Structure 1
Amino acid sequence: MDAPTNMKPLATASYRQMVGEQLRAAIASGELAAGERLNEVAVAKQLGVSPTPVREAFRDLEQAGLIEVVPYRGARVRPLTERDLSEIYSLRAHLEQMGIRLAYSRLGESDFEELAGLIREMEQCARNDDPSGVVRHDVAFHRLIMARSDHSLLLKTWEQIHPSRWTYVTVRVLANRGPLYIAQRHWPLLEALRGPSPELAVDAAAKHIELVGDEAMQVLRGKPDEEKHDSDASEALGKH
């Protein structure tokens, strides 16, 4: 495939960022499948830009681990491995559990309202078939919690490992589940943050990450746990 068919021409500045955003959305939605080749000239022509911002966007996506560029052979969507998922979700779990333990007593009602608003924004983006919007608000949700930890090195470490990357990975691998499913996974975590115990909130964070990680691993292995998914999704829809 030379370029995703649903990508739209760009008409404003910041082409590098906008090209990257459209490619991220195509990867997250599954429109660009793992291993699919990307033609720099074809993408530039479809988006109405020169090859330069496309080349720059390719470099950004390569750094984020979403594509790989092979000299003299071009770019392709980077296939995910079980090791990729294991490293992404295990590291994220450790960092965010620490962040929640520190942030728990600092979170106030205005924070809870903002977090709830971000979940609703995720849900709306999911209904509008906007996976990039889901990712953007998902990252903002978790960043708010990490920022409330008041631990600058922890927040810096969390940001340095590209939170948008693992969120795009989640949306991409669980494309068959749908982005609404991913958005609604955040309600139990928010309820735990409002709850009476920091340890319950930490446990909820672990469950939030581990369940999605386990399901992503099952999908990668070609063995999706549909029964478990249907049960969990129904429970989330019933509550919200």
Structure 2
Amino acid sequence: MQSPSGRDKAYEYVRDVVLTSPAAAGAFLNEQDLATQIGVSRTPVREALLMLQAQGLVELVPKRGAHVPPMSGRQLRELMDLRGVLERHAASIALRAKSAPVAQMRAILADQHQLADAPSDEAAKQFIDLDGSFHMALIDAAGSELLSTTYAGLRSRQLRAGLTALSTTPDRQQSVCREHGAIVDALESGDESAVGNAIDAHLEITLQALLRG
């Protein structure tokens, strides 16, 4: 297997480590600091930041560096609306095909339960990583490469939003587990309407937690 290029390493590090942190919102990123952290030169870091700028995840400001714009209330609503459309569509396809990944999603939920009361930042990050896996399992069950690719493209925004919701809402982990449980129960019942309602309720509660924060 070919090793990732310096640009790819820088892109993945900034996207998956730096930009997922709630503390990144509003901050400026220094190219040299990033290069040192990643172990590459500044050129691949610059290339990675240009890619991230094209995706709307950073803004390159002359003589200041890469600015990480906070997500506005409108952007958060749009993110949750898009997630809802994609997840409900995937659920509909999976239910018709009798391919709903109930066992896989229950296994991920069990791992989330084990982390729900852990107080550390690392546990919160693992919890949100599992959250992404939970929802991605449903998306992948639709068997659509384009659908999966589109949803995966929301990853950085979803991780930052999820970590922000955890940090601003007491016992949010336990609430997420209950909401995820409702989604899996509805999938297992085969009731498409109930699945849609459970997904919508989960995303709306998450949105309200973010708006309060």
Residue equivalent to 2:186? 192
Structure 2 unaligned regions, length at least 5: none
Q: What letter matches 2:211 in structure 1?
A: M
Select the residue among 25, 36, 58 that pairs with 2:17.
25
State the alpha-carbon separation in 1 of the partners of residues 155 and 197 from structure 2: 23
Select the residue among 137, 146, 151 that pairs with 1:144.
137
- 1:77 Cα deviation (Å)? 1.4
State the alpha-carbon separation in 2 of the partners of residues 16 and 183 from structure 1: 35
State the alpha-carbon separation in 1 of the partners of residues 48 and 172 from structure 2: 24
Q: What letter matches 1:216 in structure 2?
A: L
State the alpha-carbon separation in 1 of the partners of residues 128 and 43 from structure 2: 26
Asked if residue 40 in structure 1 is aligned to residue 31 in structure 2, the reply is yes
- 1:133 Cα deviation (Å)? 4.7
Asked if residue 202 in structure 1 is aligned to residue 196 in structure 2, the reply is yes
* Number of equivalences: 203
Structure 1 unaligned regions, length at least 5: 1-11, 220-240
**203 and 116 in structure 1: CA distance in 2 versus 1, 3 angstrom threshold:** same
Asked if residue 117 in structure 1 is aligned to residue 107 in structure 2, the reply is yes
Structural mapping, 1:41-80, within 5 Å: 41-80=32-71
Residue equivalent to 1:95? 86
Contact 2:112 2:130 in 1 (8 A): yes
Task: Give TM-score, length-normalised by structure 1.
Answer: 0.68
Q: What letter matches 1:87 in structure 2?
A: E
RMSD of equivalent CA atoms: 3.2
Percent identity over paired residues: 25
- 1:175 Cα deviation (Å)? 4.5
Select the residue among 183, 207, 213 that pairs with 1:213.
207
- 1:85 Cα deviation (Å)? 0.9
Residue equivalent to 1:170? 161
**53 and 80 in structure 1: CA distance in 2 versus 1, 3 angstrom threshold:** same
